[in-house]
Structure 1
Amino acid sequence: MSSIMRVQQDMLERMNRYAELASGPAIQPAAQLSGNAPTQGIGASFEQALRSVDVEQHKASDAMAAVDSGKSDDLVGAMIQSQKAGVSFSALLQVRNKLTGAFDEIIRMPL
């Protein structure tokens, strides 16, 4: 078997594996799965923000996958969605850092 045929065979096997994975159950964003999230406190607010960032990430992933597979030709829209997801994730990290810093300040307070 020549090296070209081995490469073609390897690519065919990979394509078959990807087709099997694609036909399996889809991963759902976390916001669609939770029906009984707590509705009070800062923990609930942070969880809601986390879930909305997760939804943004999934939207961006779906848009990029559609462009990659040729189902959509809206590359600009996919890039904008990707940037939105990146900015929302960065903002979430900044809020987390501020909350962690505030918690550390409270811990260091003398009694």
Structure 2
Amino acid sequence: MHAITSVEQQMLGQMEQAKSLMHNPVIQPAAQFEQTPNGGIGVAFDQAMRAVDTQQHLASHAMAAVDSGQSDNLAGAMIESQKASVAFSALLQVRNKLTTAFDDVMRMPV
């Protein structure tokens, strides 16, 4: 019986931990783009490219700091590098979808 109560207590602890994560999420939502009245999709895509570029520069500086011995946070540098990689891949997917949509519109009969 003692083993069952131990497992129950462990599960309750995990449920409490999950509940606390709901209120304080580990992954924060991405920053929203600035609202521009006449910018359109071009301005939004430009902002996204600048955000990805900034992320890549942050990752580059973190890796350079680890390489030069200024920092010993290798895990943080690798995480920044992965964030930059994911952001770049997402930007490429958006670009590909926009290109495909433009091609589809251009192929439509008038």
Instruction: Answer yes or no: same fold by TM over 0.5.
Output: yes
Matched residue, 1:92: 91
- Residue 60 of structure 1 pairs with residue 59 of structure 2: yes
Distance change (3 Å), C-alpha of 1:110 and 1:39: closer
State the Cα RMSD in Å. Answer: 1.6
The Cα of 1:58 is off from its aligned counterpart by 0.1
Unpaired runs of 5+ residues, structure 1, are: 1-37
Runs of 4+ residues over 3 Å off in structure 1: none
Unpaired runs of 5+ residues, structure 2, are: 1-36
Matched residue, 2:76: 77
- Residue 103 of structure 1 pairs with residue 102 of structure 2: yes
After TM superposition, the score normalised by the length of structure 2 is: 0.66
Matched residue, 2:47: 48
Matched residue, 2:11: none
Work out the number of aligned pairs and report it.
75
Measured in 1, the distance between the counterparts of 2:72 and 2:54 equals 22
After TM superposition, the score normalised by the length of structure 1 is: 0.65
Measured in 2, the distance between the counterparts of 1:39 and 1:75 equals 43
| Structure of higher CA gyration radius | 2
Distance change (3 Å), C-alpha of 1:100 and 1:66: same
